[in-house]
Amino acid sequence: MTIGIKDVARRAGVSPATVSRVLGHGPVSAELRDRVEAAVRATGYRPNLSARRLRSQHSRTIGLIVSDIRNPFFTALSRAVEDAAYQSDMRVVLCNTDENPEREAMYLRLMQEERITGLIFAPTKATAERLDHTLLDFPVVLVDRAGPPGRHDCVVIDNPLACGALIEHLWEQGYRRIGGIFGNTSSTAVERHEGYRAAMAARGLEADVRFVAPNAEAAEAETARWLRTPGRPEALIGSNGQVLLGMVKALRNAGLGMPDDMGLAGFDNETWTELVGPGLTVVEQPVLDIGRTAMMMLFERLSVPDLQPRKVVLTGRLIVRGSTTRR
Amino acid sequence: MTIGIKDVARRAGVSPATVSRVLGHGPVSAELRDRVEAAVRATGYRPNLSARRLRSQHSRTIGLIVSDIRNPFFTALSRAVEDAAYQSDMRVVLCNTDENPEREAMYLRLMQEERITGLIFAPTKATAERLDHTLLDFPVVLVDRAGPPGRHDCVVIDNPLACGALIEHLWEQGYRRIGGIFGNTSSTAVERHEGYRAAMAARGLEADVRFVAPNAEAAEAETARWLRTPGRPEALIGSNGQVLLGMVKALRNAGLGMPDDMGLAGFDNETWTELVGPGLTVVEQPVLDIGRTAMMMLFERLSVPDLQPRKVVLTGRLIVRGSTTRR
DNA sequence: CTGAAAGCGCTTACAG
DNA sequence: CTGAAAGCGCTTACAG
C-alpha cells in the first residue's frame, strides 16, 4: 500500500542500498543520485522512521519533560529546545507532568521505550532526589531545578542571588514586613525560599512564608486566607509566574492596590506582568539561554560520557515596575 | 547491551512470542504470565517502540500541528488532545508552525514519516486551501480553522455569531465608530472579519479594519499607527488573544484608558484579560470541547473512512468586563 | 561507487 | 495455550 524503498529502487533501476545512501549521506555517483532523486519525487516516497530508527539504532530524538506546559516559562523553554534540536536534525518529544511524580515515572518509562538520545527534564523535588541516571540509558540534563548537589548535569539560575535582589529592592522602597509564597514541589522554590530567608535575616527582618501547590488556584486561595489574617505583610513575593498570578487575583478581589496597599514582586516576566495594574516587579529568567545551554550540555555529555556532573548557573534580571515603587 | 525480549524469554523459560503476548493482550496461562511478569520486573525490560511500531504497522500516534504554541488557546488545546489520547493509549507528537507554510509542509512530511494514525491540525489559510487529504495516508481533522467548505472534517466555533455578539454589545454600550484588527493568516480571522462587517452593516455602521500578522508585536505596531491617525474609532476589537495583547500595550503606551478613551474587546479568554485595567470583554472558546471533539471525529473517521466531511460548529461565550462597559 | 545479504527487536499468522 | 518461523522497512558491514 505505502511506497517502500524497494519500489523507489526498482523505479530508479538501482538497489535499495543505493536509495538509502542517497537519502542518507553515503557515497553515490552523480548519475545514480539523480535517478534516485527523480524516483523519490515521482513516487512521493517517505521513509519509515520507525524502521530507520530500529535499524540504525539511533532515534535522533530529544526528550523534554516539563512540569507545567501552561507556564509560559516552559512554553518558551520548549521552543528554545526545539529550535536547537532541529538545527541538529533531531526531533523532540514533549511531555507535561503537572508536577505529578507518577506522571514523571510514566514519561521516564516512555523515554526509555522511545530509546531517546538524551533528556532535558524539569523534575519535582521528589523525583529529582530519587532519580538515578545510571539506571537510564540516556544522559539527562535538569533544567530550572538542580536536584541534589553534584548528582546531575543541570542548568539553573542563581535563585538565592535573585531573591536577594528582590528583597534588597523592597527594602530600599521602605517595605519591612515582607512575606513570601513558595511552590511546594520544586527545588527551585526551595532555593528561592532560602534566598528569601537569608536576605531577610541579613537585614534583621522576620521571615513569614506560606507553601502552596505551584499553580494559580492554590496561590489565590492561600493569599486570600492570608490577607484576612491580622498583621499581614506590607509586601509579598511569589516564587513563580503562576503563583504570582494567583496572588494578583487575590489582591484584586480583596480590593487592595499596588504598591500602596500591598507591594508585590516575584519570578517570571510573563506578558501579563507588564500589563496588570502599575506593572509587576519581577525577575526575568534567561529562558532561551537555559534551553540552548541544556542542549549543548546534552551534546557534550553524549560525546564525553565520563565527565563530572556539571552545574551551569545563569543569572536572572530584576525588572522594576510600579507594583513595588512607592512615590 | 539493552535487554531485549529474548533475554526476558530466556529468563522466564518461555518463547519470545509468549513474552510478547503477556505484554500485549494475547491468551497466556496464568502460570506463564506470572513467570514472564517476574522476568520483566527482574530485568527492567522496556520494549522498543520503534520495533513494535514497525512490526505491528500501528504507530498509535496522533499528530497535532498548531500555529503558535505561545498562544494559550493552543496550549490548552494540546492538553485536551493529550488527555484524550492517553485515555486511548495513544501518544501525541506536537509541532508548532509559527503560521509559516514552509514549516507546515515540513511537519506534514514528518507526520507521514512517523506513520501517524491521525492528525489534528490548525492550518494557515494558504495551507488549508492547498491541503489534499487524499494524498495523506492518515485522516485529518482541522481545528479552529475550517478551510474550504465541505473539504475537510473540522471543528470550529461560530465566528460570525460571536462577532455579532461582540458588535451588538458594543452597540448597546453606545459605541458607534468600531474598528477591528484581524490576523492575516487564518480562515478564522477571515470569518471573524466577515461577521464583523455583517454586524456593522446591519446597524448602518461603517466598517474600518486593519490586517496584521497574528502576533502581539505586529498588532501593537499597527494599533499605535492607527491611534495616531485622525478620526480614530471609539472602540476596537481584536481577532485573537495575541492580537488583543498587542492592542492593550499600544493603548497603554498612548495613555488611553478603557472603556472611556477607547473600548476594547476581542477573542480568547486568556488569564491576563481578566487582570488588565478594568478587565477585557472577550469571547471565550470552549477549547476543551474543541480538543475532545476533534479526537472523537478522528476516531470516527478511522472506523468509518468513507463518511462525508463533517463540520462541527461549537459556540463561543461572551464575557462582558469593564473594558467596554461605560457607566 | 554499488549490490546482495544480514539483521535491528519486535508481532503475528500458522501449526500443534 | 504455546513455539518456531517469517517479516515489518529500513541500514550497513562486506565483498567486489
DSSP string spanning B168-226? HHHHHTT--SEEEEEESS-HHHHHHHHHHHHHHHHTTPPP-EEEE-SSHHHHHHHHHHH
Q: What are the angstrom distances between the C-alpha of A75 and each of A72, A94, A291, B123, B299? A: 5, 10, 11, 20, 28
Same domain, residue pair A147 and A166: no
Q: Is the CB of B55 under 7 A from strand D?
A: yes
Chain A residue set in contact with B, beta carbons under 8 Å: 2, 44, 46-51, 53-54, 59, 69-70, 72, 75-76, 78-79, 82, 91, 93-94, 96, 109-110, 112-115, 135, 137, 216, 245, 248-249, 252, 270-272, 274-277
What residues contact A104, with CB distance under 8 A and at least 6 apart?
A65, A97, A123, A124, A127
Residues B20 and B42 placed together within one structural domain of the fold: yes
CA neighbor of B65 nearest in space, from B150, B149, B159, B131: B131
The conformation of residue B276, written as its DSSP 8-state character, comes to: B
Please indicate, yes or no, if residue A232 is contained in any of the structural domains.
yes
Rounded Cα–Cα distance for residues A143 and A46 (Å)? 35
Whether residue B73 sits in one domain with residue B9? no
* B140 and B242 share one domain: no
The answer to whether position A220 is within a domain reads yes
Cβ within 8 Å, pair B49-A94: no
Residues B254 and B183 in one domain: yes
Which among B94, B109, B274 is the nearest to A94, CB-wise? B94
The answer on B18 and B87 residing in a single domain is no
* Cα atoms found within 13 Å of the Cα of residue B101, Cβ hemisphere only: 10
Q: Are residues A221 and A295 in the same domain?
A: no
Same domain flag for A48 and A69: no
Identify the bridge partners of residue A121 per DSSP, sorted by sequence position: A65, A142
Q: Is residue A327 part of a domain?
A: no
CA end-to-end distance (rounded Å), chain A: 74
A309 located within any domain: yes
Nucleotide whose C1' lies closest to the alpha carbon of residue A26: C1
CA of A44 to C1' of D12 (A): 25
Considering the entire predicted model, what is its pTM? 0.91
Listing DSSP states for A253-313 in one string gives: HTT--TTTT-EEEEE---HHHHHBTT--EEEEP-HHHHHHHHHHHHHHHHHSTTPPP-EEE
Q: Domain tally for chain A?
A: 3
Looking at the complex, report in whole angstroms how far the Cα of residue B295 sits from the nearest Cα belonging to chain A. Answer: 18
Asked, for residue A74, whether it belongs to a domain, the answer is yes
* Alpha-carbon distances of B275 from A245, B100, B265, rounded to whole Å: 9, 31, 14
B49 Cβ contacts chain D strand, under 7 Å:
no
Contact A70 B93 (CB under 8 A): no
**Neighbour count for residue A320 (Cβ, 10 Å):** 16
Domain that holds residue A128: 61-157+287-314
Residue of chain B nearest A69, judged by CA positions: B75
Most A CBs within 10 A among B247, B272, B280, hence the mutation to make, goes to: B272
Decide if A326 is inside a domain. Answer: no
Both A93 and A205 in a single domain?
no
Tens of pLDDT, residue by residue over A114-167, are 999 999 999 999 999 999 988 899 999 999 998 899 999 999 999 999 999 999
CATH number of the domain encompassing residue B20 = 1.10.260.40
For residue B246, the domain's CATH number is 3.40.50.2300
- Residue A208: inside a domain: yes
| CA distances to A174, B84, B109 from A138, in Å | 50, 29, 27
Domain boundary among A17, A35, A54: A54
Tell me, yes or no, whether A75 and A149 share the same domain.
Answer: yes
Q: A230 preceded by cis ω (within 30°)?
A: no
**Rounded (5°) CA angle B216-B222-B227:** 120
Domain identity same for B116 and B37: no
Q: Per-residue confidence of chain B (327 residues) as pLDDT tens digits?
A: 689 999 999 999 999 999 999 999 888 999 999 999 999 999 999 999 999 999 999 999 999 999 988 889 999 999 999 999 988 989 999 999 999 999 999 999 999 999 999 999 999 999 999 999 888 999 999 999 988 999 999 999 999 999 999 999 999 999 999 999 999 999 999 999 999 999 999 999 999 999 999 999 999 999 999 999 998 999 999 999 999 999 999 999 999 999 999 999 999 999 899 999 999 999 999 999 999 999 999 999 998 988 899 999 999 999 999 999 986
C-alpha cell at B110: 514528518
Chain A residue with CA closest to B249: the answer is: A275
Residues A218-267: tens digit of each pLDDT: 999 999 999 999 989 999 999 999 999 999 999 999 999 999 999 999 99
| Residue B31: nearest nucleotide (C-alpha to C1') | D1
- B242 and B192 assigned to the same domain: yes
Helices and strands in chain B: count of H runs, count of E runs: 12, 12
Kind of pairing between the strands at B209-212 and B153-157: unpaired
Tell if the CB–CB gap between B115 and A276 is shorter than 8 Å: no
- Among B49, B50, B96, B253, most A C-beta atoms within 10 A, so best to mutate, is B50
For A43 and C12, how far is CA from C1' in angstroms?
Answer: 30
Exposure b/e, B61-77, CB count within 10 A at least 16 = b: bbbbbbbbbbbbbbbbb
Name residue, grid cell 503560521: B99
Q: Do A137 and B2 touch (CB under 8 A)?
A: yes
Domain presence at residue A101:
yes
